[in-house]
Structure 1
Amino acid sequence: MSKQQLNKFYLVSTLIVSGQLLAAPSLENSVLKKDGNESSLQEFLGKVVYVDFWASWCAPCRKSFPWMNKVQSKYQQQGFEVVAINLDVDSASAHEFLAKVPAKFNLRFNPDGDVATAFDLLGMPSSYLFNRQGELVQRHVGFYEKHTAAYEEEIELLLKE
């Protein structure tokens, strides 16, 4: 078994054992755009969507942003979107973070944290991968650079469907 296959097996088996694979947050939740207007994540239906929850105080989030920029750019033309949802209560903290760690993907804000609660957020950052039908197919708690090849393989498989 290759290292990449082993990483994928580890990720999937961890999700199955933890019972997270069958949990089903949806894209129906409303979040705020940068301009303060409300938006539904359903605007991304028909695309493979990587929803990531982050906060300005989250050290691993600083590592995940460059990777999310990369995959957004690499797969956007194939129908892929990264949507990063900030949970900072103080938007100034989020904007300070973004000045240092720019995002080239969709940003949304949820200062009330109700969307994070609906997604049953277990840690920061947490990401959720949805297929084109809006069904949750993968969940990751934390961001690990050593697993980025496996994360990317999951995206590629969904884009081929």
Structure 2
Amino acid sequence: MKKFLIGMLMFVCSQTLSAADISLPKGVIAITPRLAPPLQLQNMDGEQFDLRRAGDQWAFVHFWASWCGPCRREMPTIEILVKAFADKPLTFAIINTAESDDTVFSFLASVAPEINSLMDYDGLVTEAWQPRGLPSTYLVDPQGMIRYVVIGGQAWHSREYQDFLRQLVGEPG
């Protein structure tokens, strides 16, 4: 029994150390894991997205609005990030909060033309996720648990954020 307890303690410590090895960039907050709310929306082309279908991948769930100054500055960096991670096991859910197609299309055409946003027309998905402000990003693990929250605009194209995300998805830096 003593050997079993020592073995369990060593296992728990090794798991804690591996999680601590991930360096958190500015603005990324590790939280007590909680189940991600449902996320089923259509993009601007009418294609259905369901977070539950992300499979064995991490998900980058991002809420934004066109009237948000930090969103305007951040969106081009997210576009770069999406391209950089196109072949990585990371799903992107970029969600506009309750704006019209015309507003979103005009905004994205001027700052990030390659982004195809999910549309939360009635705001119910945003309400379920309860972002504390815009922009807000949630990093959801393959088991559907929110592990990290990022409030405010970040330079997602920078090396520190990309290295962090590569560590999450198990890719070399």
- Which residues in structure 2 correspond to 1:27-106 (within 5 Å)? 28-36=38-46, 38-106=48-116
Aligned partner of 1:61: which letter? C
Choose from 85, 88, 109 the match for 2:119.
109
Which shifted more, 96-105 or 138-147?
138-147
Instruction: Give me the CA root mean square deviation.
Output: 2.8
Which shifted more, 88-97 or 46-55?
88-97
TM-superposed CA distance for 1:139, in Å, is 0.5
Q: How many residues align?
A: 150
Aligned counterparts of 1:105 and 1:71: Cα–Cα separation in 2: 11
- Identify, as 1 or 2, the structure richer in helix: 1
Aligned counterparts of 1:25 and 1:112: Cα–Cα separation in 2: 22
CA contact (8 A) 2:139 2:146 kept: yes
Pair 1:8–1:101, CA change in 2 (3 A): same
- Which residues in structure 2 correspond to 1:113-128 (within 5 Å)? 113-128=123-138
TM-superposed CA distance for 1:143, in Å, is 1.0
Pair 1:58–1:25, CA change in 2 (3 A): farther
CA contact (8 A) 1:126 1:140 kept: yes
Q: Which whole-Å deviations, capped at 9, do the CAs of 1:57-78 have from their partners, x for residues lacking one?
A: 1111122222212222222212
Aligned counterparts of 1:145 and 1:151: Cα–Cα separation in 2: 7
Aligned counterparts of 1:79 and 1:23: Cα–Cα separation in 2: 20
Structure number with greater Rg is 2
CA contact (8 A) 1:62 1:101 kept: yes
Name the counterpart of 1:8: 24
Aligned partner of 1:89: which letter? E
Using the size of structure 2 for normalisation, the TM-score is: 0.72
Identity of aligned residues (%): 25
SS at match of 1:133: coil
Aligned counterparts of 2:140 and 2:160: Cα–Cα separation in 1: 16
Aligned partner of 2:167: which letter? L
Aligned counterparts of 1:115 and 1:25: Cα–Cα separation in 2: 14
Gaps of 5+ in 1: none
Name the counterpart of 2:165: 155
